[in-house]
Chains A and B, each alone.
Chain A
Amino acid sequence: MNDSLTTRAKRIYEWLDKRLLISPLIAKTQRTINFALPSTLTRQNRSRVFWFIYPYYYAGAITAFLAILQGITGLLLAFNYVPSAVGDPGTPTQAYLSVQNIMRSVPLGALIRGMHQWGANLLVAAVAVHAFWAFFRSPYRVGRELTWFLGVFSLGLALAYSFSGYLLPWDQLGYWAATISIQIMRAIPLLGNSLAQILLGGTGLSATTLTRIYFYHVSLLPVVALVLVGAHMLLVILQGVSEPEEAWKTKSEKQVAPLFGPFFPQQIAPVLIVSLVTLGIVLLLSAYAVQFPGDPANKFLTPRFIVPEWYFLWAYGLLKWVGWIYDIVHFAPPAAVFGVDLLSAKVVGILVAAVLFLVLLLLPIIDRGKEVRALRRPLKTAIGVWAIGFLATLTLYALNEILSADLSIPVDTMNLILGSIVIAVPLIAAAPVYLVLRQHVAKGVS
């Protein structure tokens, strides 16, 4: 009766431990983590912890926090959403009405849906920053190849999540974005049609498609996410965070002196602070910028200015841009090469996107350079800058119709301007990076 709270908690733990035999496991885990980053060695570097100095390290932590937030808000939304797209084109379906219901009638429904929507957007942004940062810093060169592979797959997972979630309200934008994506999928040489049949239950969108997409979004992908992201984060915890290059200077002195404190509590504390700030931003955005679904899906009417979500714009722009190049050089792709439209703009677009993904995935195998510092890798860093420029300008190109209408410039002129930008700007950005860094490296050697 007079036991203090801690004694009581201890007793409960002992009762559980007797049955589950978990204490050796916990002790071992603690040892492993502490062994990776011994606090005795970091004490002398205490002034140089994580916080303030290395803000770019937070992209991963923010991603993890947002993923948890997506899980919670998604769970709540699932209680009120009805995955049924049965109904006449242009009339509100059960799916559409249930989203309306969440927005108007369900207590705090609009806030929860807003958090889910904004959380998804911010998550993709955080993942992109995280991925690009990892690209430049090459942590995969020093024993983190598996973390990299898992990370690239998680990037694909985030996109699969967004794609499937975008369709769920069954409104015009989601419907047509999905239609275009499915038709692009069908254009994959040889496999396309079967893939569309298996993944989406048909070669066009139907009520069956929504059921399958819903199943992926709430059931299949979460399991995949737990495994992929869980393994990714476990590796980060076990191996310790890949440290900034400043830390390397001390390593020549035969002393392992990690810059950052141990995972718990020194590293996790600022992560929690950043997570709270992120939560605040998500709450603010979802309270003041709630987006209702558009008109109900109508398969007989494509809306004007149809664009996908911002993170797929580059792919959309790529399709348009390849078509524009073909027009400029008066190249009419042959109808069939080996039985498929191998050279049509959409297949070329698919192949370019596939190659980009494969290069990203296999980077630890392709990039054999010993140097990890971005400033000492002229070619690789220049390629990274070019890739960012290419994606950004393609995103701009995807908006050609909207820009030409807003600025009242003829579409053909607009295409010429934007198309040239896509070719020139990434090169103009990458060339000086390469030249300057090469000089920098040459100086360093001599």
Chain B
Amino acid sequence: MSMSEKDAPESGKKARHSASRRQFIQMMVALGFLGTIASFLSLLTSLLPSSGGGQQQGEVDNTFRYGPEKGTWYADKSGSEVKVEDFDQIGKGAGVLWRGSIPAILIRIDESKLRGATANSGLIAFSSACTHLCCIATWHLDRPNEAVLFCRCHDGIFDPYDIVKDIMPNGVEYRGARVIGGPPPRAAPIIPVEIRDGKVTGVPSNLETYAYCG
């Protein structure tokens, strides 16, 4: 409006009329242009994760299997099922794999010293992905003389004898090994252990607990 008045200050009704018609067309073209761009922006939703794409199919085995760490007592058993008789003395532990995708640490502990939880046949298991930045914690590999879960990346330390309550970012409440050193923000979650025909298995009570590393 101000433009048309400047251009033709005294030309009266007709000039003003045609100018506003021009403005209308300009506005419509601009709107159409913006609308087109906006509709193309909607294509960006393809970048978001698709639902159900990465879901695991079929039956999942709950038995623990030995992990891939080299130079350990279980190195030659890597990938085979964990037997309860392998854990014949207190302090013996192993990096294991649960349900094919969740790395864990299984330890034979001194039940009399355990606080905050009970073990099954002296066995206790923790998800070993560090709650800090998801590196895999180890047992006796980096700190051979200490009864701790140790993370190599930023020196996070968890105490398997001190089980505390904690909450995951996704709101799940759980129990886990207390952080006693380094940057991890939360306890390392327990995986409940069950013995079936001499095989050591984990109980999938709430799998949401172990989803913190994506």
Residues of A within 8 A of B (CB): 89-90, 176, 179-180, 182-184, 186, 196-198, 201-204, 206, 298-306, 319-320, 322-323, 326-327, 333, 335, 341, 344-346, 401, 411
Contacts and interface: CB of A to CB of B under 8 A. Distances in A.
Nearest to B152: A302
Contact of A323 (B49, B69, B136, B182): B182
A92 to B, nearest CB: 14
Contacts of B135: 176, 179-180, 302, 306
Contacts of B132: 183, 346
A183 B142 contact: no
A203 B185 contact: no
B108 to A, nearest CB: 21
B153 interface: yes
A443 B69 CA distance: 66
B185 A204 contact: no
Interface string B143-186: 00000000111110000000000010000000000000111011
Given A301-B67, A306-B153, A319-B183, A183 B54 contact: no
B97 interface: yes
B213 interface: yes
Contacts of B49: 197, 201-202
Contact of A183 (B97, B103, B134): B134
A186 B132 CA distance: 11
Contacts of A306: 135, 152-153
Nearest to A339: B169
Could you tell me the dominant secondary structure of chain B's interface residues?
loop
Contacts of A327: 181-182
B91 interface: no
Top 7 closest pairs, chain A to chain B, by CB:
A203-B214, A204-B214, A183-B133, A323-B183, A302-B135, A345-B183, A302-B136
B47 interface: yes
Given A198-B47, A306-B153, A411-B155, 16 more contacts: A179-B133, A179-B135, A184-B133, A186-B214, A202-B214, A301-B136, A302-B151, A304-B142, A304-B152, A305-B152, A306-B152, A320-B183, A323-B154, A327-B182, A335-B167, A401-B152
Given A304-B142, A306-B152, A320-B155, A196 B214 contact: yes
B214 A180 contact: no
Interface string B120-134: 000000000000111
B40 to A, nearest CB: 17
A290 to B, nearest CB: 25
A418 to B, nearest CB: 12
B48 interface: yes
Interface string B88-123: 000000010100000100000000000000000000
B202 interface: no
A320 B138 CA distance: 19
20 contacts: A176-B135, A180-B134, A184-B133, A198-B48, A204-B134, A204-B214, A298-B68, A300-B97, A301-B136, A304-B142, A306-B152, A306-B153, A320-B183, A323-B154, A323-B155, A326-B183, A333-B185, A345-B183, A346-B183, A411-B155
Interface in B72-100: 95, 97
Nearest to A90: B68
Contacts of A182: 214
A298 B213 CA distance: 15
Given A184-B133, A196-B214, A298-B68, A319 B154 contact: yes
Contact of B153 (A90, A302, A345): A302
A179 B138 CA distance: 17
Contact of B67 (A201, A300, A341): A300
A6 to B, nearest CB: 50
A419 B152 CA distance: 19
A183 B156 CA distance: 15
A202 B48 CA distance: 9
Contacts of B69: 301
Contacts of A320: 154-155, 183
Given A320-B154, A320-B155, A323-B183, A183 B213 contact: yes
Contact of A346 (B133, B141, B151, B155): B133
B30 to A, nearest CB: 26
Given A179-B134, A202-B214, A203-B213, A301 B68 contact: yes
